[in-house]
Amino acid sequence: MKLLIVQARMSSTRLPGKVLKKICGKPILLILLERVMLSKNIDKVVVATTTNTIDKKIIKFCTEYGFDYFCGSEQDVLNRYYNCAKHYNAELIIRITSDCPLIDPIVIDKTISLFEKNNVDYVANTIPPETRRWPDGSDVEVFSYKGLCEAERNAKGLEREHVTFYFWKRKNLYKTLQLGNKNNWANYRYTLDYKEDFINLKKIINMMNEKNVFGYTEEIIEIIKCNFKDNNLEKKFSFGYGWKKNKAR
């Protein structure tokens, strides 16, 4: 089974409760899930949240909208993934974080296909960050259950919080690939970490609705280019914040 796991929690330190904040009347988590469900190369989608009491709100959301969910450790995100994948008998895991609400289902499918066509252990489009050509906010990671089991047995410290560090920081042990892109969109950023990100995402989504476009990656980049430059907001979408070391969700 190809299992897409969306990790989500309410207790984000930078923007608490962000996953259920609403844009155009929809919770951000719903916007994300509706987009990943359009992927043609996955078998199941599950929200992996935590056993923290505050995350009962995410469980309530999943129950209300009919999405599968799994509860695990808040800080040991690697263990949360491992137990979730084991519960659903996954063979292939696709990792999406809840701070990427405008994830592109086509990019998801391309990343999975790249994994399946090559004898590798790990594929991503924005990792490692220094060589990526995709925007921050379009992040997709794909790895095998076998590799996840190895990471669960051996990973320590920050590797457990960040799930995939164990793979891509050990290139001597694991074969990894990065999804290429004819365009270099590395300087664009539409992830959700801060209050200003939420404001800018709301503007982007409103513009997507006005233009009646889905918001594939190229369409989002075009919206940013055309609508955020004059009012000096384009820089908000650059990689100027630096790569976030604390990406646990």
For the stretch 153-200, pLDDT in tens is 999 999 999 999 998 888 788 999 999 999 999 999 999 999 999 999
Asked if residue 128 has a cis previous peptide bond (ω within 30° of 0), the answer is yes
User: Cα(197)–Cα(206) distance, rounded to whole angstroms?
Assistant: 14
Helix, strand, coil shares, percent, the chain, to 5: 45, 15, 40
Both structure tokens of 177: 């690939």
Q: How far apart are CA 220 and CA 35, in angstroms?
A: 14
Structure tokens at 113: 């296909």
Provide the pLDDT for residue 229: 67
The answer to whether residue 75 sits within a structural domain is yes
Q: What is the pLDDT of residue 180?
A: 97
- Assess whether pLDDT exceeds 90 at residue 203: yes
CA dist 220 and 130 (Å) reads 22
Phi (first) and psi of residue 86, to 5 degrees: -65, -40
Residue 56 resides in a domain: yes
Question: Is the pLDDT reported for residue 232 higher than 70?
Answer: no
Q: How far apart are CA 117 and CA 19, in angstroms?
A: 33
Summarised one tens digit per residue, pLDDT across range 90-137 is 999 999 999 999 999 999 999 999 999 998 999 999 999 999 999 999
Task: Give the CATH number of the domain where residue 73 resides.
Answer: 3.90.550.10
133 in a domain, yes or no? Answer: yes
CA angle 50, 53, 55 (to 5 degrees): 50
Instruction: Note down the domain range covering 27.
Output: 2-241
How is 223-241 classified by DSSP, letter by letter? HHHHHSTTTT-GGGGSGGG
User: In whole angstroms, what separates CA 24 from the centre of its chain?
Assistant: 21
Q: Is there a domain that residue 246 lies in?
A: no
Number of domains present in the structure of the chain: 1
In-domain check, residue 145: yes
Is the model more confident about 243 or about 149? 149
What is d(CA 114, CA 137) in angstroms, rounded to the nearest whole number?
20
Pair of tokens at residue 13: 């330190």
Cα 65 to Cα 178: distance, rounded to the nearest angstrom: 34
Tokens describing residue 79: 């263990």
Q: Confirm whether 141 is domain-assigned.
A: yes
Predicted local distance difference test score (pLDDT) of residue 14: 86
Q: Is residue 51 part of a domain?
A: yes
Q: The whole model's pTM is what?
A: 0.92
pLDDT band for position 13 (cuts 50, 70, 90): confident
C-alpha to C-alpha distance for 46 and 62, rounded to whole angstroms: 9
The answer as to whether 97 is a domain residue is yes
What's the CA gap between 173 and 109, in Å, rounded?
26
The pLDDT score that the predictor gives to residue 12 is: 84
Share of the chain above pLDDT 70, in %: 92
